[in-house]
Amino acid sequence: MAQFALVIDLNTCVGCHACATNCKEWNTQAAFGPLSDFDPYGAHPEGVWYNRIMTYETGEFPSTQVFHLPKSCLHCQDAPCVPVCPTGASYKREQDGIVLVNYDDCIGCKLCSWSCPYGCREFDEADKVMKKCTLCIDRIYDETLPPEHRKPACVLTCPARARFFGDIEDPNSEVYKVIEERNGFVLFPDMGTNPANHYLPRIETKINLEEFEKHILKPDNPLFLEVMKRHHVSNKAPQEKQVEEVV
Amino acid sequence: MHPPLSLIFFFLTAGTSIGLFIFMYAIEFLQLFGKGQGLPKEVILKLGVLELILIGLGAFGASFHLGHKLRAWKAIKRFRTSWLSREAVFSGAYGVSLLIYLVLNQLGVNPFFEHFFGILTFILGVLSGFSTAMIYASNKFVLEWNSSITVIYYLLMYLMLGSTLMAYFSHLYNLPYLGTFIFLSFLFLALGLGFRLAFNIRQFYLKRPTMNEALNLPHNRPIRVVDTGTTTDNYCTEEFYYRKGKEMLSTVIPVAYLLTFVVPLFLVLYAWITGTANHWILGLTYLFVLVGSALERWSFFVEGNHVQNLFYGLYPEEGYRLRKGYMERKETKISLYG
């Protein structure tokens, strides 16, 4: 059975909040909107967001690392928020595994948000219903859009290309492959929720300059001359470079 | 968790109504077997109408925590999976069944149907209380609530409210059950106190998940929240972390204990030992239990810590700290049945 989900690469996520902003921009005007705001230009702006970006720091000074964690509904495969809903307004679609809220049936009892260990459901005080990420279901099935645009708004906008969207149960999909290849992990694995959204862990990339100088810049390296030539060319002024290319 | 006042109100009204009916019908039921003298019809009418009004007020009050009150009837749809749905069904059925019982009792036409609906109302009342308690006890993401203690002492609180009020009415209507209900009040107050203490003591021994578990990081890695994405509070930080309540909790809990359990226990013991039962002592006992229960419910909500607070760094730290470099991975198993 298909299970659509997001895979977020924590290695490339720069925490720019573009996904959250574009999510809000798209969803406030689309089928599942509006996402109400209160006091938006005042001292205490507050509102409904499907996607929030948390920033954490690990390690101890001076060897610390900062990473950003975009957190939207994880579309859990054993979603704990669905069975607690007294009206059946909260449901998980069989065909693609997306967890949705039927606003016409939601009585706003907030019990589903109590049953979500990730805090990914938010109550809209204006509409008095529970709202959550829909994986932009109104975009991904919209046949009037070109096929490359049939993705969630957050995936399309991510400038760092840190977000992937697809069917995590399909071995041929991009998301399946990145999860397999790069050890995708989930949040709160012990809670028995089996989240569909995965995160790709940070990989520390180190460049050892000493090694570089020792091996690559050695005169007996067969590529030594080529390296030096390129280095020489790239250090020249642009005009000279052009002349050289023409020659 | 943020305490919803409408749910506290529902607890007080439904608790009094169901608790009172349990004892009222128990007397009637015993009469079937020739034990006791039953209750006069006018007393049943008065108490029954009070119970009906209370459960009605409770249902009306509880609807105030809903976003859409007029859709509340839809809450019966998921009876199979949702405890909230079960609560709604059982509370509603309790009210209807109680009304039928009262009519049959007053008309006195058919004792079989009268007692059939009496027993049905009794069972529905208990099930309603049980379902309400299970809403909290089945939530495995609030570890403080996720225990059978929550259910037991929730039902004991219903019995405390019922028995203390029944003792008052026994005195008011000159019923021969005053001594019994003074004893029952004492019994349920003492049991309630015991289970409430157990509820609080259990919190010290909870194995709490850590932020590392939430973020699926190695357990020896120090981690702290730098930014939560917004400069102000949001739904998650307000609903699951009641900042003002947490500050007041250390004052409110002792007061709640005092008003709900200690003072009523002394009053009941005084009445029992000295044999001086008057309106003041018995009325005050119920009032103390009522006001104390409101504070106790408030504390119950504020004491609950939702695991989603881990993402905001607002979750209490676990009881022990791991040594630096200690690589053991702690397994947190949270089972639905405590």
Q: Which of B45, B55, B283 is nearest to B169 (CA)?
A: B283
Residues on chain A touching B88 (C-beta within 8 angstroms) = 86
* Vertex B237 angle, CA B233 and B243, to 5°: 90
**Residues A64-96 pLDDT 10s:** 889 999 999 999 999 999 999 999 999 999 999
H helices within A46-140, ranges in order? 81-84, 111-114, 137-140
Q: Cβ contact (<8 Å) for B81 and A83?
A: yes
Element (H, E) at A233: helix A224-234
Closest Cα in chain A to B233: A46
SS3 (DSSP) at A172? coil
The torsion angles phi and psi of A46, rounded to 5 degrees, stand at -145, 150
Chain B 63-82, CB below 8 Å of chain A: which residues?
65-68, 71-72, 74-78, 81-82
A69 and A140 part of one domain? yes
Residues A173-191, mean pLDDT to the nearest whole number: 92
Q: Which of A13, A84, A120, A204 to mutate to test the interface with B (most CBs of B within 10 A)?
A: A84
Q: Cβ contact (<8 Å) for A113 and B68?
A: no
Residues on chain A touching B332 (C-beta within 8 angstroms) = 190
What is the domain extent for residue A60?
Answer: 4-200
A163 and A234 part of one domain? no
Strand partners, B142: B306
Q: Does A30 touch chain B (CB under 8 A)?
A: no
Q: Does B189 touch chain A (CB under 8 A)?
A: no
A80 and A189 part of one domain? yes
For residue A198, the distance in angstroms to the closest alpha carbon of chain B comes to: 11
What is the domain extent for residue B72?
Answer: 5-312
Q: Locate A213 and state its tokens.
A: 């100088």
A214 and A180 part of one domain? no
Report if residue B320 sits inside a domain: no
Residues on chain A touching B75 (C-beta within 8 angstroms) = 86-87, 107, 109
Report if residue B326 sits inside a domain: no
Q: Cβ contact (<8 Å) for B229 and A20?
A: yes
Q: Cβ contact (<8 Å) for B232 and A44?
A: yes
Residues A28-36, mean pLDDT to the nearest whole number: 88
C-alpha to C-alpha distance for A51 and A11, rounded to whole angstroms: 19
C-alpha to C-alpha distance for B316 and B313, rounded to whole angstroms: 8
Question: What length is written for chain A?
Answer: 247
Report if residue B177 sits inside a domain: yes
Residues on chain A touching B81 (C-beta within 8 angstroms) = 83-84
The whole model's pTM is what?
Answer: 0.87
Could you please report the per-residue DSSP string of B209-244?
A: --HHHHTT--TT--EEEEE-S-SS--HHHHHS--HH
Q: Find out whether A215 and A221 touch, Cβ atoms under 8 Å.
A: yes
SS3 content of chain A, % helix, strand, coil (to 5): 30, 20, 50
A168 and A220 part of one domain? no
For residue A205, the distance in angstroms to the closest alpha carbon of chain B comes to: 18
A110 and A57 part of one domain? yes
Q: Considering its fold, how many domains does chain B have in total?
A: 1
Element (H, E) at B70: none
Q: Does A113 touch chain B (CB under 8 A)?
A: yes
Q: Quick one: pLDDT at residue B337?
A: 59
Q: Does A91 touch chain B (CB under 8 A)?
A: no
Tell me how far the alpha carbon of residue B66 is from its chain's centroid: 19
Q: Does B222 touch chain A (CB under 8 A)?
A: yes
CATH number at residue B62: 1.20.1630.10
Report if residue B76 sits inside a domain: yes
Report if residue B160 sits inside a domain: yes
Report if residue B323 sits inside a domain: no
Report if residue B330 sits inside a domain: no
C-alpha to C-alpha distance for A189 and A74, rounded to whole angstroms: 12
Q: Spell B7-42 as b/e; 16+ CB within 10 A means b.
A: bbbbbbbbbbbbbbbbbbbbbbbeeeeeebeebeee
Q: Which of B302, B307, B268 is nearest to B200 (CA)?
A: B302
Q: Cβ contact (<8 Å) for A86 and B1?
A: no
Q: Does A20 touch chain B (CB under 8 A)?
A: yes
Q: Does A66 touch chain B (CB under 8 A)?
A: yes
Q: Cβ contact (<8 Å) for B216 and A188?
A: yes
CATH number at residue A113: 3.30.70.20
Name which of B76, B217, B229 is nearest A54 (Cβ-Cβ): B229
Predicted complex: ipTM over 0.90: no
Report if residue B324 sits inside a domain: no
A134 and A215 part of one domain? no
**Residues A99-111 pLDDT 10s:** 999 999 999 999 9
Cα dihedral angle (B133, B136, B140, B146), rounded to 10 degrees? -60
Q: Considering its fold, how many domains does chain A have in total?
A: 2
Closest Cα in chain A to B2: A114
Q: Cβ contact (<8 Å) for A188 and B306?
A: no
A213 and A196 part of one domain? no
Q: Does A71 touch chain B (CB under 8 A)?
A: yes
Q: Going by C-beta distance under 8 Å and a sequence separation of 6 or more, which residues neighbour residue B58?
A: B9, B10, B12, B13, B14, B17, B91
Strand partners, A38: A46
Residues on chain B touching A89 (C-beta within 8 angstroms) = 74
Strand partners, A69: A54
Q: Find out whether B270 and B281 touch, Cβ atoms under 8 Å.
A: yes
Q: Does A56 touch chain B (CB under 8 A)?
A: yes
C-alpha to C-alpha distance for B71 and B11, rounded to whole angstroms: 21
Radius of gyration of chain A (CA): 24
Upstream peptide bond of A62 is cis (omega within 30 degrees of 0): yes
Q: Does B143 touch chain A (CB under 8 A)?
A: no
pLDDT in tens, chain B (338 residues): 999 999 999 999 999 999 999 999 999 999 888 888 888 999 999 999 999 999 999 999 999 999 999 999 999 999 999 999 999 999 999 999 999 999 999 998 888 999 999 999 999 999 999 999 999 999 999 999 999 999 999 999 999 999 999 999 999 999 999 999 999 999 999 999 999 999 999 988 888 888 998 998 888 888 989 998 888 889 999 999 999 999 999 999 999 999 999 999 999 999 999 888 888 899 999 999 999 999 999 999 999 999 999 999 888 875 444 444 444 455 555 566 54
Closest Cα in chain A to B312: A54
Element (H, E) at A36: none
Closest Cα in chain A to B236: A119
A194 and A220 part of one domain? no
Closest Cα in chain B to A117: B308
A56 and A16 part of one domain? yes
Q: Does B217 touch chain A (CB under 8 A)?
A: yes
